[in-house]
Amino acid sequence: MTEETIAENKSFFNLFNICAGIVVVIGLYITYLRFTGGLAAVTNLSDNNPWGIWISFDLLCGVALAAGGYVTSAAVYLFGMKKYHSAVRPAVLTGFLGYSLVVLALQYDVGRPWRLPYPLVVQQGTTSVLFEVGLCVAIYLTVLFVEFSPAALEWLGLKKARNLAVKLTILLTIFGVVLSTMHQSSLGSLFLIAPSKLHPLWYSPYIPIYFFVTSIIAGLSMVIFESTLSHRFFAYKMDETHLKEANGITLGFGKAAAYVLAGYFAIKVMGISAGNNWHYLKTGYGTWYLVELIGFVALPALLYAIGVREKNLILIKWTSVLAILGIILNRFNVCLVAFNWQLPSSERYFPHWMEIGISVFIVMIGLILYRFIATRMPILYAHPDYKDAH
Amino acid sequence: MSISRRKFLGWVGAAGLSATIGKSATASTHKHFTGYPGSFAVLHDTTLCVGCRSCETACNKVNDLPSPDKPFADLSVLEKKRRTTTKAFTVVNKYNDPERPKKPVFFKKQCNHCLEPACASVCFVRAFTKTKTGAVIYDSSVCVGCRYCMVACPFEIPTYEYDQVLTPRIRKCTMCYPRVSKGQLPGCVEVCPMEALTFGKRQDLINFAKQRIQKYPDRYVDHIYGEHEMGGTSWLYISGVPFKELGMREDLGVTPAPELTAGALSSVPMIVGLWPVLLTGLYAVSKRKEKIAQTEQENAVALALDKADASPQSIISEATESQTGEES
Amino acid sequence: MDKVFYTLQNFMTHTESVTYLLVAATLVGMTLFWLFLGSGKNED
């Protein structure tokens, strides 16, 4: 690494620290307001709009974008794609942090956060999709913790515990896929209860499958996006294997994402047909639906494909951003834009700036934690003591 | 107690309630559910309602709700369409009948007490219960405050105490469960001066409403709202104008709420039972491939070493070729 | 079970509760059974 890039990195991190500092201070202030004044003090939530961006972004997008963990570990450990091995640890770390932050965000959103264990230990509402989501997220967070733990244990030098955790890899990976299939899809199923409130173009009996498939797209795209950022800022931490495998990961994951996006496009179109909702496409909501479907599903599928065919890594990396935005757009559409479409515009929801403030605050905590861990633990390189273990 | 027949169709005391329900609990139900036999309901005949807001006053008193911003005697609030709030479990709205512009229609809105409540179906701590009196009641002692019930309710009824820091609750009409359990009428029914509200067994009320519609076909549209909507509700309505014009959704369908998510929930055991089998299978296949590749590689190297004496150059290059071929 | 359910909600609460218990047992059981399958006489 040249001195120039080190200097560049340094100035960037100084800027990052300043931004992080400001966001954290504001975040803590809003936190104080939230827990002294209630939800009314910091949100625009109302009786008609009980779920805002803390659900649509922090929960729905957070869980989808943290899907890289199960997607990558399944590809490497179950499907035998060993050449992507160096992507596993960063992806699992992102997954673990992502789910932790989802749980943190819920502390703000639910009315009595200290009761969050109630569905498990006090009274089980087993007919609720949310019960399943809660159960899966709780167990999967534990699975991710154990999957992530070898990195921390290597860092701490606890060999025995580390080897025990590594022995569980296959089991944990299978559990991860099973649990993710359930709760990723169930986040979509949450809306099955409200056919009268969600616009017919987005309301579909296939919505659980849509949510599951998009979580794969989100997972693949996040791995590409994240690896791009890591190479920009943490390249000095990476070992030879990591650097050597990086391009292959971008190409391979881009190819997979292109094909999954194509399949997703197909089932979305068939969904319109199944509900006989073609005539809605002519309305304003229909235009917006087409923007999502063409601009954020078909287009990234095509761009990924071109990028892979022409080995254009830059294009693949930018397409990953587009695909991620597409997932975020989809979650916002289902939870906010197309939800309560029957209401007059005066009764619709728009987030309060403090709600956005908390969401930014939580993302910032994720970035800070990622940097803390990636610069200390063997995430982007193999620990010298365990080089052959992979 | 002066309760007219119109207000309480087929009077049954609280003592009688449990007895009736206990006795008829013999029929075994399998997959088709018709609700608690003999449970109560309220029939709202909107053609009789004059929009006096007495029911709102009574509701406020019975439930110890805070006093409203404008007094109940002030009828100007009817000009604006209102919904239920944490301060008002019931609201009366005024709608203009295009055919009779001089005679507005009033419609009382409150929890409809579904036979299969969406709020109960989605609550992950079972804070909502459909009771055998017909009331859907809420237990704040377990509520986490996720507000999924509000998302789920097709009638937009539950409200939330957003301004409460430590003890926010869902608030909604209880169909006066405590009063009915004691043999009293719901507050709104008791006070209605026009007898626009009738309390009684749900089945009796449906029969009664049908008779009214048959008797006065010019006065009513032929539809008892709540008989089938969302699988049926314990509040029933008859009206002279289509319900769509009274702010009621006519596109809700007749599917009981729990059925909407039953399919998705039923996939859980399939995923848990079969995913591990499939995934372990894939794992075994990839393992096996790896092993074959490894053996072939070893064999190739061994073969190359065996023949190394004979013609070293050609064989070694052949072996390495096959090796690289397998890798890619 | 000879319990009478008057509402679909009560019926589903019951069946889903049992299902979740079975699901938990399945997760553990499948794991143990896989270990049992693989721990026989070694061929190689």
Q: Which tens digit of pLDDT belongs to each residue from B51-61? A: 999 999 999 99
Which residues of chain A from 135 to 164 reach within 8 Å of chain C, CB to CB? 135
Q: What is the mean pLDDT of chain C?
A: 87
Cβ <8 Å between B142 and A118: yes
Instruction: Output the pLDDT for position B100.
Output: 79
Least confident of A88-97, A262-271, B68-77: B68-77
**Spatial separation of the C-alpha atoms in residues B90 and B44, rounded to whole Å:** 13
CB proximity A124 to C under 8 Å: yes
For the packed helices A313-332 and A299-309, what is the interaxial angle rounded to 10 degrees?
A: 160
Candidates C12, C16, C34, C35: best to mutate against A (most CBs of A within 10 A) is C16
Chains in contact with chain A (at least 3 beta-carbon pairs closer than 8 A)? B, C
What is the pTM for the complete model shown? 0.90
Q: Residue B200, SS3?
A: strand
Superfamily of domain A16-382: Formate dehydrogenase/DMSO reductase domain (1.20.1630.10)
Instruction: Output the pLDDT for position B323.
Output: 57
Q: How far is A114 from chain C (nearest CA, A)?
A: 24
Alpha helices, DSSP H only, in B1-134?
A: 14-23, 54-62, 118-122
Q: Which tens digit of pLDDT belongs to each residue from A339-376? A: 999 999 999 999 999 999 999 999 999 999 999 999 99
Could you tell me the pLDDT band of residue A285, with boundaries at 50, 70 and 90? very high
Chain C contact set for A127 (CB, 8 A):
9, 12-13, 16
Residues 6+ apart with CB under 8 A from B17: B38, B132, B133, B181
Chains in contact with chain B (at least 3 beta-carbon pairs closer than 8 A)? A, C
**Spatial separation of the C-alpha atoms in residues A235 and A380, rounded to whole Å:** 9
Q: How many angstroms separate the Cα of A251 from the Cα of each of A102, A298, A315, B178? A: 30, 19, 11, 66
Nearest to A126 by CA among C5, B265, B169: B265
Confidence check: pLDDT of B328 > 50: no
DSSP at A297: I
Q: How far is A77 from chain C (nearest CA, A)?
A: 17
Q: Residue A206, SS3?
A: coil
CB proximity B36 to C under 8 Å: yes
Q: Which tens digit of pLDDT belongs to each residue from A295-311? A: 999 999 999 999 999 99
Nearest to A242 by CA among A93, A84, A367: A84
Instruction: Output the pLDDT for position C25.
Output: 94
Q: Residue B265, SS3?
A: helix
Mean pLDDT of all residues in B264-290: 93
Tokens of A87: 């992507």
Are B191 and B62 contacting, i.e. CB atoms less than 8 angstroms apart? no
| Residue B130: φ, ψ to 5° | -85, 115
Mean pLDDT of all residues in B160-179: 96
Least confident of A249-253, B70-74, B106-110: B70-74
Are A326 and A296 contacting, i.e. CB atoms less than 8 angstroms apart? yes
Amino acid occupying residue A93: L
Least confident of A139-143, B141-145, B310-314: B310-314
Question: Could you say which of A79, A111, A205 has the minimum Cβ distance to residue B144?
Answer: A111
- Start-to-end CA span in chain A (Å): 27
Are A380 and A242 contacting, i.e. CB atoms less than 8 angstroms apart? yes
Q: How many angstroms separate the Cα of A360 from the Cα of each of A27, A63, A104, A365, B194? A: 8, 16, 13, 9, 56
Mean pLDDT of all residues in A249-272: 97
Q: Comparing B72 with B313, which gets the higher pLDDT?
A: B72
CB proximity B134 to C under 8 Å: no
Q: Residue A133, SS3?
A: helix
Chain A contact set for C27 (CB, 8 A):
175, 178
Q: Which tens digit of pLDDT belongs to each residue from B218-260? A: 999 999 999 999 999 999 999 999 999 999 999 999 999 999 9
CA-angle at B11, arms to B8 and B17, nearest 5°: 120
Mean pLDDT of all residues in A188-199: 96
Q: Would you tell me how many other CB atoms lie within 10 Å of the CB of residue A324?
A: 21
Could you tell me the pLDDT band of residue A385, with boundaries at 50, 70 and 90? confident
Mean pLDDT of all residues in A312-326: 97
Amino acid occupying residue A6: I
Tokens of A112: 């009595």
Could you tell me the pLDDT band of residue B103, with boundaries at 50, 70 and 90? confident
User: Sign of the C-alpha dihedral, residues A52, A184, A257, A148?
Assistant: positive
Are B90 and B226 contacting, i.e. CB atoms less than 8 angstroms apart? no
Q: How far is C20 from chain A (nearest CA, A)?
A: 8
Strands B197-201 and B235-238, sheet pairing? unpaired
Secondary element (H or E) of residue B128:
strand B128-130
Instruction: Output the pLDDT for position B315.
Output: 56
Instruction: Output the pLDDT for position A116.
Output: 95
- Start-to-end CA span in chain C (Å): 50
Instruction: Output the pLDDT for position B10.
Output: 59
Q: Comparing B4 with A134, which gets the higher pLDDT?
A: A134
Domain map (residue ranges) of chain A: 16-382
Q: Which tens digit of pLDDT belongs to each residue from B196-207? A: 999 999 999 999
Q: Which tens digit of pLDDT belongs to each residue from B75-89? A: 989 989 999 999 999
Q: Which tens digit of pLDDT belongs to each residue from A39-79? A: 999 999 999 999 999 999 999 999 999 999 999 999 999 99
Confidence check: pLDDT of A165 > 80: yes
Residues 6+ apart with CB under 8 A from A270: A206
Beta bridge partners of B129: B137
Q: How many angstroms separate the Cα of A205 from the Cα of each of A131, A201, A293, A340, B281? A: 19, 11, 18, 18, 29
DSSP at A179: H
What is the ipTM metric for this complex? Answer: 0.92
Chain C contact set for B231 (CB, 8 A):
8
Alpha helices, DSSP H only, in chain B?
A: 14-23, 54-62, 118-122, 148-152, 177-181, 187-191, 202-215, 257-306, 312-327
Cβ <8 Å between A126 and C9: no
Q: How far is C41 from chain B (nearest CA, A)?
A: 18
Residue showing tokens 């970035």: A367
Mean pLDDT of all residues in C30-41: 86
**Spatial separation of the C-alpha atoms in residues C10 and B317, rounded to whole Å:** 73
**Spatial separation of the C-alpha atoms in residues B51 and B91, rounded to whole Å:** 10
**Spatial separation of the C-alpha atoms in residues C33 and C30, rounded to whole Å:** 5
Q: What is the mean pLDDT of chain B?
A: 87
Half-sphere exposure of B290 (CA within 13 A, CB side): 14
